[in-house]
A and B are shown apart, each in its own frame.
Chain A
Amino acid sequence: MATRRDIQDIIGLPGGGDTPAPKKRAKTAGPQKKLHGVNREVAALYGERPPPVAVYEEKKTYRAKRANLGPVRPWIQQPFTNPARTDGLVLKHWRRKPTARPNIENGGDTAMEDADNQSPQLETDYEYARFNVDVSVPSYTDEEYEAHLRSNEWSREETDYLLELAKDFYLRWPVIHDRYEFQSAKAEPADDAASAGDSILENPTDALSTLPYNSSLPRDPRSIEDLKARYYFVWETTLKLHRPPEAMESSEFELLEVLHSYNPDSEHVRKRIALALMSRPLDEVKEEEFLLAELQRINIAANRLDAERAELRERLEAPTPQRDLGPAGPLGNFQSSQALTALFQQLFQQDRSKKRASGSGRLSLSAGDIIGTPTAAQQAAYNAAAGSRKASMAHPPPPQPQLRALSAAEERRYGVSNHDRLTSGVSFGSDKLVKMRQAKSGVQTQKIAAVLAQLGFGDIITIPTARVGAAFEGLVAKVGKLLDLRKVREKEENEVKVLDGMRAKRAGEDPAATGSAPPQHGRDSTETQERDMKQEERDESLMEQSIADSTVGAETTYAEDGEGGDDAEGEEDDAEGEEDADGETNATSTRQVSEAVSTRAATTPAASVKAGHKRSASVLSAGSTRSRASTKRARK
């Protein structure tokens, strides 16, 4: 969304000052161009305004040569009647003179002349009569009315009048309401209903009484909703009378439901709310527009930022130089940046030429494209590198036929795991587990070990699969937290002790108490210790529970593995996964996390604006959809 201001910024023009100039030029250009038939000087007298007399220029345009359509076929004023009319009005329109078939057969010009003299036949099937559609309005007999349709608010006469208007104006309710002029002595009940409706809607009424024109006119004795409600009621009742709901077809029944669910009060409330929405002051509308524009701007900026970031990441993760080969290898020549660029160009060209065949993007450069890397091992290495690069990028990988996307369940079943980055070499899951037990300080490590021992974990965990590792990691984290908590509590308690001591000291100024203070203190401490113990127990039980949870989780996964039938294979996969993960993984993940956090920080205002805006927008759209829905219903 490059606005004019943006462009001005780019070119370095001062904004604002020169606004009117281009506008005016654009405006005058229009009408002046049109004035072809007038002298330039004369046209200039008018300035920007159109001449009072429209000037039409007779332009010579290309005309298709008149096709020879055979002999002249005369036109006649053909009289016709319209079946949509009941009065048999005869109008005349121009029609080609019908060439009667027998005339041609006889081949006689004399016959044609005969036809000329005949007065044209009256046409009776008028093609536009089919547009004569009529609405059918419900009807009822006197008995039906007495039995089912009597109402305190509506007299029989008024109901009839309503139905007649509905028919006359094809159920266009705004028009029916506009033309509704039923005079009757019974105006009071309607007023009652109106005031009852008002009391329901007290709040909107209050809110709306500030509107400029709402208060000036008295409320209609019959609102559009009242009319609709009555009509729908009559319709519904007659529908039911003519056929019981059980016997209805689904479409009829749906209609019945729609009719039944019409609620004039809620319609009224809705309209009042809509009105309030429409009569917002200019400032609010402007603000909304401004926010919308701002949101769009932010979204675009965020997208751009994301794109830039992705690009940057892509660059940072350029293919690692192939250490194994060394400088003497075939890629040794490509160590300077120029050489690399040349290589890239070369590869790119090749890829482009092949792209049509493979149909995938630049990253589909397969190992076979690289000159001088013929061994299968290298191919595999390159594939791995390409794969990892792909995974680390924000976009979904380009479709590759040989890769099948696995669902989460399948991945678990086959023990497939995804890693941001795999490093070479072999690593063991058990190593990871051991590492986890170690904290920075030896004391902490010992404490962790103690807790683990207390929980009944041995030094060696027998099957260190990835999931067990993850569970164990969680456990260790929890243990760490527990230890932290303990430390904090100890500190607090020490403080309490010190404070207690001070209090005791102050109390000790009373000479009699001096001797008794230490034992008291001692008792206190034992008490706290006891409390401690209890607390600890509780903590531990909590811990145990959570560990139990996680082990249960792990067990279930084992079970699943077992079900999968290929225990060994699953474990193998796990091992592979572990193998590749090492310290670097952690580094990358932290970096990504921090990046993610920073991204979030950058987009938060946008996000919050978005959220806020979304809310108002959704309110709006809800309103409008509802109104649309209701109009649809009304039409029905």
Chain B
Amino acid sequence: MNPSSATAPNTNEYAGDEISAIVLDPGYSSTRAGFAGEDIPKSVIPSYYGIAPTASGSSQYLFGENSIHNPLPNLEIKNPWSSDGIVEDWDTATKLWEYAITSRLTGQRPTDPTKNGLNDGTNGEGNGQMDVDMDGLDDAEKPLAESPLLMTEPGLSSAKAREKYIEIAMEDWGTPAFYLGKTGVLAAFASGKASGIVIDIGASTTTVTPIVDGLVLKKGVQKSPLAGNYMSNQLRLIFAQSQPPVPLTPHFMVASKSPVDAGAPAQAIYKKFEVPPTASFRRFEEERVLTEFKESVVETWTGPNRLSVPGTEESLKNAPGRPFEMPDGYNQLFSAERFKVAEGLFDASSALHDPDNPRPKDEQTIPRMVQAAIHHIDVDLRPIILGNVIITGGASLTYRIMDRINAELSQMFPAPRIRLIAPGNTIERKYAAWIGGSILASLGSFHQLWISKKEYEEHGPSIIDKRIK
């Protein structure tokens, strides 16, 4: 048989065997879901959700990119995750994740239309509300009755959280088989590595996970809040502290704008709202602007010295700046400021702080976390581990952060060569854990590892600790 698009690839080549499993990788900033065996997650939704009161007095949940950016009156934007990267609001998280799965992948089960909540007040595709009453469904009608589910969990999750995951998957979604993979391990798999140290710079947390033969060395896992959200907060501080302060106006407030000179006050016509949008909504929208700023202006300082070394910052003043225009037309050339944002990830002493944003601890910086993680690793393994430093997470896309990590680590571990591994592709960097899960769940030899419904029924949720160590 000659290979063409009509023939399936030879599964023996990669030991693949797809069983239509679903991979779900929930994170603080976005939730990724898709079918195992695919290259990228088909369904990526923000982990923030909207909650708005309805006329009847109950509250309505809004999920998905298309429904939460609308400035509805009294719309609150929330996140089921706590700011330290642990799921807090399990009920909403369950709904959110279910939305991620059902909106694009499995579709709604043909359940009683009055029960599934889809028909009250939907205004367009993707604006589903998942106010689903689960008790009324029996197994065959549950959203995942046909698909095994692989979920990811952060490196340091408690036994309770793990039991909760399997409970949701088995009881709420009725999945026939379940598996829980650690984001670190999966990200390493996505880079084709079974041993190494994964530095995942996400939104809420930066996690450093040492991995040996696909197993996490638990004692070595390090976690810190210095990640994407921290960088956003640094930006807010920088904007507030600069002279004059840089106004941060989100898109939804601007009706029209006209060009102004750099640094001049914005000349824009602002929208009028009968009920002003809530603070949480505004903050969420500001975050979008900040992310844009991080993507296009922020750069990691790569030396020769750290920024905190006296004189270094002054020399930056005349460095060429990068322009940025706010949604209201205010624009400015940012030079020294853009280097300060990520500096705290490497040097806690140069982090900006105020009462709301306390100075980070020295142990929370990336170099110190790697050092602490490496300390737990057997000497014989260190050369292998240091030769496979895998970098993932959305915030690792910060410009030139790789160079800085490389410099810091090489300084700290001169002897065995440091080798950084990071997918160059934006998508692969952001979704590394999902991609690793997709690879894993489509391997023929993996299918013996699933926890089946039968096992769950026999042993209860505690099986997760027995089976997946």
Contact = CB atoms under 8 A, between A and B. Distances in A.
Interface of A: 45-54, 63-67, 69, 77, 82, 84-85, 87-94, 126-129, 131-132, 168-170, 172-175, 177-179, 212-213, 217, 224, 271-272, 274-275, 277-282, 284-286, 627, 630-631
Given A67-B2, A84-B448, A278 B413 contact: yes
A170 B212 CA distance: 12
Contacts of B444: 126-128, 131
Nearest to A217: B375
A212 B4 CA distance: 58
A89 B450 contact: yes
Given A129-B448, A278-B382, A278-B415, A53 B426 contact: yes
A129 to B, nearest CB: 7
B47 to A, nearest CB: 18
Nearest to B220: A178
Contacts of A88: 454
Interface of B: 1-6, 8, 15, 17-20, 146, 148, 176-177, 212-213, 215, 217-220, 292, 295-296, 322, 371-372, 375-383, 397, 399, 411, 413-416, 424-427, 443-445, 447-448, 450, 452-455, 469
Q: Which 3 A-B pairs have the closest CB atoms?
A: A128-B444, A131-B445, A84-B448
A85 B453 CA distance: 13
Contacts, number: 142
Contacts of A224: 378
Given A52-B292, A128-B443, A271-B380, 17 more contacts: A52-B295, A64-B3, A89-B176, A89-B452, A90-B176, A91-B19, A91-B450, A92-B20, A94-B8, A126-B444, A175-B213, A177-B378, A178-B376, A271-B378, A278-B383, A280-B414, A285-B414
B6 A281 contact: no
A231 to B, nearest CB: 15
A85 B449 CA distance: 8
B177 A89 contact: yes
Contacts of B176: 89-91
Contact of A175 (B8, B217, B295): B217
A88 B378 CA distance: 39
A84 B447 CA distance: 9
A93 B379 CA distance: 43
25 contacts: A50-B426, A52-B295, A53-B426, A65-B4, A84-B448, A88-B454, A89-B454, A91-B19, A91-B177, A92-B20, A93-B18, A128-B448, A131-B445, A169-B215, A170-B213, A172-B215, A174-B378, A174-B381, A213-B375, A217-B375, A271-B378, A279-B415, A281-B414, A282-B414, A630-B380
A37 to B, nearest CB: 14
A79 to B, nearest CB: 10
The interface centre, meaning the residue of B5, B218, B378 with most chain A CB atoms within 10 A of its CB, is: B378
Given A52-B397, A85-B448, A179-B469, A69 B6 contact: yes
A177 B378 CA distance: 9
B424 A50 contact: yes
Contacts of B218: 178-179
A44 to B, nearest CB: 12
Contacts of B375: 213, 217
Contact of B397 (A50, A89, A278): A50
B34 to A, nearest CB: 16
Given A50-B424, A127-B444, A175 B212 contact: yes
B448 A92 contact: no
Nearest to B448: A84
A274 to B, nearest CB: 5
**Which of B177, B219, B414, B453 has most A Cβ within 10 Å?**
B414
B399 A85 contact: no
Contacts of A627: 380
Contact of A85 (B148, B322, B383, B452): B452
B212 A277 contact: no
A71 to B, nearest CB: 13
Contacts of A128: 15, 17, 443-445, 447-448
Given A50-B397, A627-B380, A282 B411 contact: yes
Contacts of A69: 1, 6
B93 to A, nearest CB: 26
Given A64-B4, A274-B379, A49 B399 contact: yes
Contact of A213 (B3, B212, B371, B425): B371
A458 to B, nearest CB: 73
Given A128-B447, A179-B218, A278 B416 contact: yes
B465 to A, nearest CB: 12
A168 B380 contact: no
B448 A132 contact: yes
A54 B5 contact: no
Contacts of B427: 54
Contacts of B380: 271, 274, 627, 630-631
A507 B3 CA distance: 118
Nearest to B410: A282
A65 B176 CA distance: 40
Contacts of B425: 54
Interface centre among A69, A89, A170 (most CB of B within 10 A): A89
B377 A174 contact: yes
B60 to A, nearest CB: 30
A334 to B, nearest CB: 61
Contacts of A132: 445, 448
A174 B371 CA distance: 17
Nearest to B452: A89
